[in-house]
Structure 1
Amino acid sequence: MVDLLKGIRVLSFNHFLMGPVGVQFLADLGADVIAVEPPDGAFQRKWSGANNKRVDGQSMLFLVGNRNKRSLVLDLKKPEALEIARKLVATADVLTENFRPGVLDKLGLGFAAARAIKPDIIYATASGFGADGPYVNRPGQDLLVQALSGLAVITGTRKSGPRAIGVSAVDHHGAALFAAGILAALVKRARTGDGGRIDVNLLSAALDLQQESLTCYMNGEPPDDTHQPEHVSGWYYSAPYGIYATRDGHIAISLGSIEVLAEALDLPREQRFADSEAFSRRDEITAAIAANVASRTTTECLDRFTSLGIWHAPVNDYSKLADDPQIKHNGSFQTVQGATGAPITLVSHPIQYDGQVPEVRMPPQKLGAQSEDVLTELGYDQDAIRTLYSTGAIGSAP
């Protein structure tokens, strides 16, 4: 069992994707994460995508970022619920939230208020664009940030124009940064005894994803166009770096010598180029490679490239991932019994600790499943809990 954060309590006021996934990372490591939700559930319980696909009533977005957490329902519009929240702050090491900037301040749960309750609290906020600035009141969402940050342009081709990445990549990277910032703050507090504030935002996460591309662009003469050229998967890469259609599928060809690649493909003399021309003549080079590879099967390309040490990989669709031998070896998917009884398959925590992948201790929980447990820990007796149920401060009784 991986319990690196055992004894650390995280109070989570998070919704949608970046916040829940970032906090889930800490929960996987053994932190006691209490997810505070409104009586009708956090947003991620309601939105599912894929024509509202659900597993036994559970939304896809909810299953993504809510394992290993306890669920507590609080109606923060009620003073009794706010009192419970303040009592929880006093017991927490970390408070996390990803509401629009200022929302928790209005409820009396902002950074200053939390620090007054718990001086060494680590207060971690995730937002679309930052805690202040000209975009502070804009809706922060992955697609919008991909557009604003230039990511959609460099992902698109010259022919297609801008194109978004096929997943919420900025949200997921932002989640990783959120977890990393909190872990850094925990190390600082262990050394100094001081808490502090951590701010993570989607726009900065999107730019961080593009460090390689942006550093290349910002230094020296910029290019005329940052769309991907045909076949080459990035404006700043040389041939052959990209994905090519074979007779029966697709293959990715990565960094390597185009002279060796020409040998592997038996290219005619007029289609052979020097390695020094890999960038300046990449359109011609990749056109020749594409035409040649299109006449071969994927297996034939794999065999030829393997024998000559050319970096390559077949292009898998999702149907092939579960049977990929390395993915199986790494334990990248876990199927567990969900809180409703139906089996659910989750993407595992991505890091091993002393050879172990953190287990799913608790599948994503039913709304308010641990409300009574958390309140009992705070000293509320059964009569007080029944009263809180009757006023709606902690939602409806199960």
Structure 2
Amino acid sequence: MPETASNLPLRGLRVLDFAQFLAGPVAALRLSDLGAEVIKIERPQGGDLCRSMVVNDQRLEGDSLVFHTFNRGKKSVAADLKQPADLEKIRALVATADVMIHNFRPGVMERIGLGYDTVRDLNPRIVYGAVSGYGTTGPWRDKPGQDLLVQSLSGIAWLSGNANDGPVPTGFAMLDVATAGNLVQGILACLVRRGISGKGGLVEVDLLSSAIDVTFEQFTCFLNDNEQQPRRHETGNANPYQPAPYGLYQASDGWFAFAMTPLAKVAELLGSAEIGAFPQAQAFSHLNEIKRIVAAICATKPVQHWLDILEPAGIWCAPVLDWPGFVKTDGFAALDPVQTIRTPSGAAARTTRCPIRLDGQALHNSAPAPLLGADTAAVFDSLQTARA
């Protein structure tokens, strides 16, 4: 547990994590970071599928680095929910829980006997969190809810990249992480309500709704623009609804970002009469032409040359860093965002910490993900002790 475990706001809460892969486990991870006891319920044969997931050969003496990333600091109970005896033990555990999270497809938990209505009868105070890909109704409800697939279906992949590129998805599971955040918000809201009314609640989130939500600025523009597909810029596209020069530009030795800036100021700082000939009102209607001029000028000098001109003038700009460059910066060091966990086998792995600070203190938790079923006996024995 973290060094500040005794002071964390969710200390004393019990969370049952039935989820696999990313959105559900990340939500449970954040609750653990904030002090909750999180018990991961896994299949006895193999457990969470992430235990066997290896990305770029990243293993820790036989363990999956991905699994530790999503599940550090949790406990593990192995139970076969298809076996009546195991299911009965889990039902008894549900009766002691404050929060329950799952990401089975719609209808699966009902068939198992752990749907919301059943669980609410067992424990009226429980907050029940359910994650799906596309919601519980409609023709897509049974499609696989995977991040890249939802980015593709939701139109997100057509927002990034330049006009002549194909669709460009994000290079990380953006929607899983966003959905996890939405789930945590809903759970915490229900816990606050429970403190007033004594009753729990049902929190349902899905990746497709998260896709719409994270693009709400651009999607609102789309809805109010006769539902016309946004036109990506031919050069330096970063947001199809932002006028020139907004975007990324290649200098002679790298790239930098150029945010919102009046055209007259751009023309002055870049020394371009061509740009100065465009009125500010044409910053959007002639954006591709303006951005081509900006790009040609920026390509002639190094990144630092342009930053030295733009930043003193109050222009919002920044170098485009890769990760090796980013981790060497003073900004990265000031956040101190990395912590080391040590796996049950003794291997050390560096990972990120919780991004939240409480009472001025960053939250660290060096505990690894658990071995499959490591806490089964202790957790079930505690139920027997409580009954006695």
Q: Is TM (by shorter chain) over 0.5?
A: yes
Give the whole-Å Cα distance in 2 for the aligned partners of 1:279 and 1:113: 55
Indicate if the aligned counterparts of 1:17 and 1:61 stay in contact, CA closer than 8 A. Answer: no
**In structure 2, how many angstroms separate the alpha carbons of the residues matched to 1:224 and 1:135?**
23
Deviation of 1:161 (Å): 2.4
For 2:275, the equivalent position in structure 1 comes to: 271
2:47 to 41, 48, 54: 41
User: What is the aligned length?
Assistant: 379
1:308-319 pair list within 5 angstroms: 308-319=313-324
- Partner of 1:240, secondary structure, is coil
Provide, for residues 228-286 of structure 1, a one-character-per-residue CA deviation record: whole Å limited to 9, x for no partner: 4421312111111111111111101111223222222222x123233332111111111
- Check whether the contact 1:335–1:345 (CA below 8 A) recurs between aligned residues: yes
2:92 aligned with 1:93: no
Question: TM-score, normalized by length of structure 2?
Answer: 0.93
Alignment of 1:305-384 (within 5 A): 305-379=310-384
Residue 207 of structure 1 is aligned with which of 212, 224, 245?
A: 212
Deviation at 1:208, TM superposition (A): 0.4
In structure 1, the partner of 2:305 is: 300
Match of 2:65 among 50, 60, 64: 60
1:216 to partner: Cα distance? 0.8
Tell me, yes or no, if structure 1 residue 111 matches structure 2 residue 116: yes
Counterpart secondary structure, 1:323: coil
> What is the aligned partner in structure 2 of residue 129 from structure 1?
134
Secondary structure at 2:384 match in 1: coil
Checking the alignment, whether the CA contact within 8 Å between 1:338 and 1:363 is kept in structure 2 is yes
**CA apart distance, 1:107:** 1.4
Cα shift at 1:288:
1.0
Kept in 2: contact 1:111–1:123 (CA 8 A): yes
Cα 1:129–1:228 change in 2 (3 A) is: farther
Identity %: 39
**Offset from partner CA, 1:307-351 (integer Å, 9 cap, x none):** 111101111111122222222211222123233211111122112
Structure 1: which amino acid aligns with 2:126?
I
State the one-letter code of the partner of 1:203: L
Question: Which ranges in structure 2 are unaligned for 5 or more consecutive residues?
Answer: none
Bigger shift: residues 117-126 or 40-49 = 40-49
1:189-268 alignment runs, 5 A limit: 189-223=194-228, 225-267=230-272
Question: Structure 2: how far apart are the matches of 1:7 and 1:73?
Answer: 22
The superposition leaves residues 134-182 of structure 1 with CA deviations (integer Å, 9 ceiling, x where unpaired) of 2111111111110111101112432012111111101110111111111
Residue from 151, 167, 171 that aligns with 2:172: 167
- Contact 2:190 2:201 (8 Å CA) reproduced: yes
Closer, same or farther: CA 237–210 of 1 in aligned 2, 3 Å:
same
Distance 2:263 2:159 in 1: 24
Match of 1:25, as an amino acid? R
